Amino acid sequence: MKRKLTLIVVDDDQAAISRMRVLLAQFVDLVVKATFTDPKSALDYLAKNHVDFVLLDMEMPLINGKAFILQMPKEIKVLLCTGHREYATDGFDLGVVDFLLKPVGLERLAIGIDRMKKAIELPTDGKKQQESNYYYFMLKGPKKHMRTKVDFDELVYVEAYKDGSRFFLSGKMTAEIDRKLTLKKAGRHDERAGAYSGNPGREKLYELEQIFNGTSFMRMHRSFILNMDYLDEYSNGKVTLTGLPGIQLPTGDRKNYPDFFDRLDNHNLPE
């Protein structure tokens, strides 16, 4: 099993983005990191964040698809969308993986996604290519020489704890919420014995920031790193989490965590 592929969608038509999001939701092995109607904002995002590919509209004001491709990082691949078949030659000359003619249907999109997967998995430098397909990391501790595999997609947030950290996984967090609801329905008080308080690890947050660099994980507080894919809402210095009701995490000051707040202010996050 390989990690999910990440992408952004860039189209000056918000309605077209909404339709594409509906189609992309059918592919469980894709993660839409952000969407943009402004190509300049998309280029700013790509300068700071890595994704596997861009699903790009060709006809946009100010910066069209061709100009966008010439300015974006070269290692990121492109699926090009357009309402005009004559742009196909330009697209392939620029090295795009596939050319999708609007309106894009699910079957044709599936072909393009399959071609993208094959293009990304083509071997280049052996070791580097293998590492780029990692979808997990090995968590050290809490005992010496102990290692636990943690899937990136399963990790919701990390909290600083004593001399290390605690890793909170979505499956175990959901089970803990269900446990508390069961106790509440039974008229019983919360029993702390058996409560989930995260998987302990020896890594410090500053070490994890290096591991998570270029991923969806962002430092937002001196004690927390958040997987932005789980961000549901930000309000009054706190975030709530998608699919995890009742859980709120604090955020730090804007001046101390500018990248986190830049993401909140300038990018359309997945719903």
The CATH number of whichever domain residue 76 belongs to comes to 3.40.50.2300
How many CA atoms within 13 Å lie on the side-chain side of 6?
22
Average pLDDT, the chain: 82
Q: Phi and psi dihedrals of 152, rounded to 5? A: -55, -40
pLDDT confidence tier of residue 92, bands split at 50, 70 and 90: low
Both 60 and 113 in one domain: the answer is yes
How many Cβ atoms sit within 10 Å of the Cβ of residue 196?
15
Q: What is the pTM of this model?
A: 0.50
Instruction: Read off the pLDDT of each residue in 118-128 and give the average, rounded to a whole number.
Output: 56
Both 118 and 23 in one domain: the answer is yes
Domain residues for the domain of 53 are 5-132
271 within some domain: no
- Angle, alpha carbons 260-263-266 (nearest 5°): 145
Model confidence at 185: pLDDT above 90: no
Model confidence at 226: pLDDT above 90: yes
Both 120 and 216 in one domain: the answer is no
Both 195 and 214 in one domain: the answer is yes
Point out the least confidently predicted range of 21-35, 142-156, 165-179, 212-226.
Answer: 142-156
Point out the least confidently predicted range of 84-98, 140-154, 189-203, 254-268.
Answer: 84-98
- Of 91, 109, 132, the domain-final residue: 132
Model confidence at 240: pLDDT above 90: yes
Q: Could you check whether the bond before residue 142 is cis, i.e. omega within 30 degrees of 0?
A: yes
- Contact status, residue 249 vs residue 241, Cβ threshold 8 Å: yes
- Contact status, residue 246 vs residue 232, Cβ threshold 8 Å: no
- Contact status, residue 246 vs residue 176, Cβ threshold 8 Å: no
User: Could you give the percent of the chain with pLDDT greater than 70?
Assistant: 84
Count of the separate structural domains present in the chain: 2
Please give the pLDDT value at position 219: 94
Model confidence at 89: pLDDT above 90: no
- Contact status, residue 8 vs residue 42, Cβ threshold 8 Å: yes
Instruction: Read off the pLDDT of each residue in 106-119 and give the average, rounded to a whole number.
Output: 93
252 within some domain: yes
Both 159 and 261 in one domain: the answer is yes
pLDDT tens, position by position, 20-76: 999 998 998 888 888 999 999 999 989 888 889 999 998 888 888 888 999 998 889
Please give the pLDDT value at position 130: 37
Q: CA-to-CA distance for 246 and 176, rounded, in angstroms?
A: 11
Model confidence at 128: pLDDT above 60: no
User: Three-class SS of residue 155?
Assistant: strand
User: Three-class SS of residue 123?
Assistant: coil
Both 123 and 140 in one domain: the answer is no
Model confidence at 246: pLDDT above 50: yes
pLDDT tens, position by position, 97-106: 988 888 899 9
Please give the pLDDT value at position 209: 84
